[in-house]
Amino acid sequence: MTRIYITRHGETEWNKQRRFQGNKDSALTDKGIMAAELLSDRIEDIDLDCIVASPLKRAYRTAEIVKGNKQIDIETHDGLMEINLGDFEGMRWDEIVEGHGDVIDKIKSDPFKYGYPNGESLIQFYNRVENAFKEVVEKCRGKNVLIVAHGGTIKCIESYIRKFKINNDWMGTVVSNCSLSCFEVDDNDEIKEIFYNDIEHLKGSAAFN
């Protein structure tokens, strides 16, 4: 049995500013760092064999914090990166709508067909993430693995596991920062969901008041 734990990186400065990050980066906030520390405490007694992270700094830094004292290396996989938003990276939603409303209308009408300018379409992104997830499962077969990635990436993994098609409001329904999800994969690649988007470890902290 392969057990897959999945988390999203901690809150970043651009998350607070509601800016599109994509393949660009911004630093974790104090809240993001503390959330990663709380997640580290939650999984302290879980015997992880592998940690695989997106190479983007916000995810990799989160992985470093969550790892805690575990004596395992953090591997990276480019396929786990967030969607490439091209020209829109670093912009706020209102700025994008104001300056590129026609492009947004096209993307919203069919996100699988129309991609972000100089970026990816949703189908390109989904296919990349699906392949990456399968590669991680195969490489860590029979082990306990933690994947540290992004909201969009995890939404694609959820879509693959639950067998549903992502719709045009997919970016509004992503998991919480530093939440924890867990799945089991048997030898026939049948996937069982144990829990999803759990944030119990983030409750009751002064950091979130």
Q: In angstroms, rounded to a whole number, what is the distance separating the alpha carbons of residues 79 and 84?
A: 11
Q: Residue 117 in 3-state DSSP?
A: coil
Please report, in range form, the residues annotated as the binding site for substrate: 8-15, 58
Annotated binding site: 8-15, 58
Catalytic annotation, residues: 9, 82
CB 83 within 8 A of CB 122: yes
Bridging pattern class, strands 191-198 and 2-8:
unpaired
Q: How far is the C-alpha of 57 from the C-alpha of 72, rounded, in Å?
A: 19
Concatenated DSSP letters of 69-110: T---PEEE-GGGSPP--GGGTT-BHHHHHHHHHHHHHHHHH-
